[in-house]
């Protein structure tokens, strides 16, 4: 059988390996100088004032919700087309979640639907504290429109940009936080830049950054400016709130910092792969991704939609042909855990129709032209069968 083509794969260079080895030979495996260097690098790339590195995007989403004051009885809304972590983070805080249906073209949170739901909730006194738009596939949501709808009601915004580091919206990098309070990135190996496991929260707010720094490390600080004790001895630190151990290690940060050198290259290569798919699929009956005029996608995923009645057959054919297709995502609220919270089919029709048709094709920097042609040929064969 022909070689297996995964849907995503990390790209590790000799420079990445050397950077990790340097940390292993250094004095600090964690809480040394590399985590802050990685944070500064990402913050500078985004044009944001602060970046807080943590051990996963899930952790970043959790401390982002906490920093915005999400607690028991609060409401948080996100997109149904996301990894469960976007929504679970709100549940960790004791909040109730709901889902805003997606735009049928971009598959991202629909700003008009959000505005409508917020107006209704305002009338009923059930406004969410936070909304978490998700940049599915690496394409930014229409953040200007989402911000306009949310700020009308004083609702705060966390961007789940786990797919979107290196992408842009309205000419600015995703992570600039022009239209949000906090933006979160994931560095899981399938994502655009990896640290093994890891995540980061970026923000322009001093107070939010400070709260997230406390929460990632047990709620502990040694910063003299933050201590409650006026004349502390040398050994002194304070636990000021109930935080977590969500720290990133210097080993992981070294990989991420080194990977940042190639971010532009990664994005350029992913755009090229997307262009080849777009051309390859122009002639056959599959729906290729629509791009919002203001969004420059980072192309974490390349998703096609095929007729619902052929969906499972096409998917199975591709898997059987050694092509590691996937589906990102089943609407979160259809997961058994969420159904037990009271959600049922029909809640977000556009997301469910996407789920009936979507297939994620292989996209990663090292995919070869031959492999990509094989994907296109097998998709063509499968949809016309």
Query: Any idea which residues carry the catalytic annotation?
Result: 191
Question: H/E element holding 382?
Answer: helix 369-384
**117 SS3 class:** helix
Return the half-sphere exposure (C-beta side, CA atoms, 13 A cut-off) of residue 191. Answer: 30
Q: Is 284 exposed, middle or buried (0-12, 13-18, 19+ CB in 10 A)?
A: middle
**Cα(54)–Cα(213) distance, rounded to whole angstroms?**
9
CA distance 262 to 330: 32
Q: 65 and 158 in contact (C-beta within 8 Å)?
A: yes
Q: Which of 107, 103, 114 is nearest to 77 (CA)?
A: 114
Q: Which is nearer to ligand PLP, 280 or 331 (CB)?
A: 331
Report the Cα 232 to chain-centroid distance in Å: 40
CB 89 within 8 A of CB 58: yes
Closer to ligand PLP by CB, 10 or 82: give it. Answer: 82
3-state secondary structure (DSSP) of residue 74: coil
Q: What is the 3-state secondary structure (H, E, C) of 128-191?
A: CCEEECECHHHCCCCHHHHHHHHHCCCCEEEEECCCCCCCEECCEECCCCCCCCEEEEECCCCC
Residue 53 CA: distances (Å) to CA of 213, 264, 284? 9, 21, 44
Q: Which residues bind ligand PLP (CB under 6 A)?
A: 56-58, 82-83, 85-86, 134, 160, 162-163, 186, 188, 199
Cis before 116 (ω within 30): no
**CA distance linking residue 271 with residue 69, whole number of Å:** 38
- Nearest alpha carbon to residue 228 among 242, 241, 209, 212: 241
Rounded to whole angstroms, the Cα distance separating 127 from 147 reads: 15
User: Which residues in 12-35 are b (16+ Cβ under 10 Å) and which e?
Assistant: eeeebeebbeebeeeeeeeebebb
């Amino acid at each position: 059988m022909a070689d297996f083509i995964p849907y995503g794969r990390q790209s590790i260079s000799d420079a990445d390996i050397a950077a990790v080895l340097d940390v292993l030979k250094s004095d600090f495996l964690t809480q040394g100088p590399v985590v802050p260097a990685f944070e500064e690098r990402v913050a500078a790339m985004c044009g944001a004032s602060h970046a807080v590195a943590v051990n996963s995007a899930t952790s970043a989403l959790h401390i982002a919700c906490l920093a915005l004051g999400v607690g028991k009885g609060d409401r948080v809304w996100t997109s149904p087309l996301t990894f469960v972590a976007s929504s679970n983070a709100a549940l960790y805080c004791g909040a109730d979640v709901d889902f805003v249906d997606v735009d049928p073209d971009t598959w991202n949170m629909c700003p008009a639907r959000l505005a409508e739901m917020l107006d209704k909730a305002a009338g009923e006194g059930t406004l969410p504290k936070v909304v978490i738009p998700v940049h599915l596939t690496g394409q930014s949501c229409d953040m200007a429109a989402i911000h306009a709808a949310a700020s009308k009601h004083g609702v705060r915004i966390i961007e789940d940009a786990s797919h979107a580091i290196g992408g842009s919206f309205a000419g600015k990098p995703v992570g600039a936080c022009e239209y949000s309070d906090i933006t979160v990135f994931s560095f899981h190996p399938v994502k655009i830049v990896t640290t093994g496991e890891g995540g980061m929260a970026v923000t322009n707010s001093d107070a939010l950054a400070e709260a997230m720094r406390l929460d990632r490390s047990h709620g502990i600080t040694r910063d003299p400016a933050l201590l409650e004790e006026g004349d502390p001895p040398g050994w002194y630190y304070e636990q000021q709130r109930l935080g977590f151990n969500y720290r990133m290690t210097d080993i992981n940060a070294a990989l991420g910092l080194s990977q940042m050198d190639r971010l532009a290259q990664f994005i350029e290569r992913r755009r090229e792969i997307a262009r080849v798919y777009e051309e390859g699929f122009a002639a056959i009956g599959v729906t290729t991704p629509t791009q919002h005029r203001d969004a420059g996608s980072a192309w974490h995923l390349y998703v096609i939609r095929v007729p619902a009645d052929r969906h499972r057959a096409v998917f199975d054919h591709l898997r059987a042909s050694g092509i590691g297709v996937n589906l990102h995502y089943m609407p979160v609220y259809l997961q058994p855990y969420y159904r037990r919270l009271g959600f049922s089919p029909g809640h977000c029709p556009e997301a469910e129709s996407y789920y009936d048709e979507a297939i994620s094709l292989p996209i990663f920097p090292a995919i070869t032209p031959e492999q990509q042609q094989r994907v296109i040929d097998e998709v063509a064969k499968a949809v016309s069968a």
